[in-house]
Amino acid sequence: MAEIVYMPKLSDTMTEGVVAEWIKKVGDKVSSGEVLAEIETDKATMEFESFYDGVLLHIGVEKGKAAPVNEILAIIGEEGEDISALLTSKPAQAKESASAKEEPKVEEKQPVVESKSQTVNVPTSSASIPAANVSGKITASPLARKLAEERGIDINFVQGTGEGGRITKRDVDHYVPYEAPARSNNVSAAASGVESFEDTPVSQMRKVIARRLAESKFSAPHFYLTLDIDMDNAISARKAMNSQEGVKVSFNDMVIKAVAMSLRKHPTINSAWMGDFIRRNDHVHIGVAVAVDEGLLVPVVRFADTKGFTTIGAEVREFAQKAKDKKLQPSEWEGNTFTISNLGMFGIESFTAIVNPPDSCIMAVGGIKEVPVVKNGQIVPGNVMKITLSCDHRVVDGASGAAFLQTFKGYMENPVSMLL
């Protein structure tokens, strides 16, 4: 008997997935536990294994296309088996999630949305330019209009193939933006009189980053605390540690360790807003922001307060490589109780970061800068690092955040104390 394979929910924040690659094709034999496809989630590209034995009879989501969780991904059954009934009626558990996303097949019953549009003037060129709708109104299905808005597509330039020229989901899916003809490098866009742009589809990762950070910024009342750290002793300590064979310690490793030990002394900072209650975590899991092409991933160093500099450094380097290769697993990016974002290596002196839910705080770490400082009444050269703590005021008060930063400052300015 044929079995439906649904788009899986591969992370706690995943609402839809993109098929990055089909490992099997229609007609191939499939065994339980065999990789069926590679699915791009909001955070990584993961291998998806089949739960069934049989033949791949149907692919429901083509390579490069997105589908909501619980949408039909594939059908596996016996060779030659009739699956028409499965394709025409969705099981109950899939209907609820699919109904909001799928455009009805019977287009005559689809409501028509009309809206006024502005006349759009486009530069003329010998190249083929899609004609804009300048008739005064456009007709499009609600789903087509919604998809066009999400993808940044001007609906005026989409050619409708439905009844009476109505724009459908299919038209939006197949829309290709006009590309201006190539110009010589010595001719500026302004001089040629041609406007050009490039539309890039929003990745699953970028969608979730936008949603989660917007929710954090506009729902959590942020306040910020900035402090200067004297890094002279940290520089000397790091140089001494790295002089040992096989040892490689970065300033970021020292920051992670100092934060972790400080959280032990200030559990309020290691807490989370849960709506009806505040969760105070006894464990210390540090999320470390890692930049990738499509945004940020935050792998987690677990029980960081119990680990040494070299162990922390090795984990962070491994996570960074996995993040760039899109190989991070859910267990490696979930469960953070505090987050660190370090832009010091890019020459950034200071910045503020948005709290990473469900954490109540995130620390933004700037670069080390040589500046004049006062020591023993004398102005001398010194190395200073600026850090800014962003706090969710629903959980953390100013005095609590300041006390935490003073403890952190003590560890960074006297690194030996972290080894005791």
Residue 210 corresponds to which tokens in the numbers above?
A: 């936008």
Question: Which of 40 and 394 is assigned the larger pLDDT?
Answer: 394
Q: What is the C-alpha to C-alpha distance for residues 105 and 387, in angstroms, rounded to an integer?
A: 56
Mean pLDDT check: name the lowest of 183-197, 296-310, 353-367: 183-197
Closest C-alpha among 281, 301, 246 to residue 360: 281
Residue 184's pLDDT is 47
- For the chain, how many residues are written? 420
Residue 98's pLDDT is 38
Question: Which of 172 and 366 is assigned the larger pLDDT?
Answer: 366
Which amino acid is it at 92?
A
Residue 29 corresponds to which tokens in the numbers above?
A: 């034999």
Mean pLDDT check: name the lowest of 136-145, 224-233, 237-246, 312-321: 136-145
Q: How many CA atoms lie within 13 A of 197 on its CB side?
A: 8
Residue 100's pLDDT is 38
**What pLDDT digit, counting tens, does each position of 236-292 carry?**
999 999 999 989 999 999 999 999 999 999 999 999 999 889 999 999 999 999 988
Q: What is the C-alpha to C-alpha distance for residues 247 and 264, in angstroms, rounded to an integer?
A: 26
Distances (CA, A) of 212 to 217, 228, 241, 271, 393: 9, 30, 39, 18, 18
Q: What is the C-alpha to C-alpha distance for residues 348 and 282, in angstroms, rounded to an integer?
A: 33
**What pLDDT digit, counting tens, does each position of 359-378 carry?**
999 999 999 999 999 988 99
Out of 58, 154, 232, 393, pick the active-site residue: 393
222 is catalytic: no
Residue 235's pLDDT is 96
Beta strands in 45-148 (DSSP E): 45-49, 54-59, 66-68, 72-77, 113-116, 137-140
Handedness of CA 343, 344, 348, 352 (dihedral sign): positive
Q: How many CA atoms lie within 13 A of 192 on its CB side?
A: 16
Q: How many CA atoms lie within 13 A of 12 on its CB side?
A: 9
pTM above 0.85, yes or no: no
**What pLDDT digit, counting tens, does each position of 36-54 carry?**
998 887 667 788 888 899 9
Question: Which of 353 and 139 is assigned the larger pLDDT?
Answer: 353
Out of 28, 173, 199, 397, pick the active-site residue: 397
Q: What is the C-alpha to C-alpha distance for residues 308 and 304, in angstroms, rounded to an integer?
A: 8
Q: Report the percentage of the chain scoring pLDDT > 70.
A: 82
Residue 281 corresponds to which tokens in the numbers above?
A: 């975590």
359 is catalytic: no
